[in-house]
Amino acid sequence: MTPPQPIILRKTALAVIKDRKVLMARPHKHEKIFLSLGGKVEANETDIEALEREVLEEAGSRIKKGTLTFLSEFEDWAFGKENTRVNIRLYFGELIDKPKPSSEIAELRYFDSLVNPQHITATGKQILEWLKKENYID
């Protein structure tokens, strides 16, 4: 018997860079894990629409018009979900408002590539390594 095909979660994320570090969010449901800003792309929603909605929900900020640039795509096993992969399309952009944690986010923090691996997911590690290789972060 063949194992079931994994579920693929489609997500979009925003790389907000400050002082050569990228902004990440720790949801209340995670004690140590930080995730990229962004989230699941809903049915009939574009990457950009999902990104604008999620960033406003998570960081209470809007994305500055004309600053969004697609960077790359990442995929790995989803953190804490069995038989599920996550596909993340990463964009660079600037925020209009100062980011602040929302009701679903416990903490926002900037990280460079030297973050303790216990604080990030497999896709988070891929993203940080890529941002360092491409000279966005230290």
Q: CB atoms < 10 A from the CB of 132, how many?
A: 16
CATH top class, domain 7-133 = alpha beta
Contact call for residues 92 and 17 (beta carbons, < 8 A): yes
With 80 as the cut, is the pLDDT of residue 75 above it? yes
User: How would residue 1 be classed by pLDDT, with cut points 50, 70 and 90?
Assistant: confident
Q: How far apart are CA 132 and CA 22, in angstroms?
A: 10
Domain map (residue ranges) of the chain = 7-133
Model pTM score: 0.93
User: How would residue 132 be classed by pLDDT, with cut points 50, 70 and 90?
Assistant: very high
Task: Note the pLDDT tens digit of each residue in 4-30.
Answer: 889 999 999 999 999 999 999 999 988
DSSP type of residue 118: G
Percent of the chain with pLDDT over 70: 100
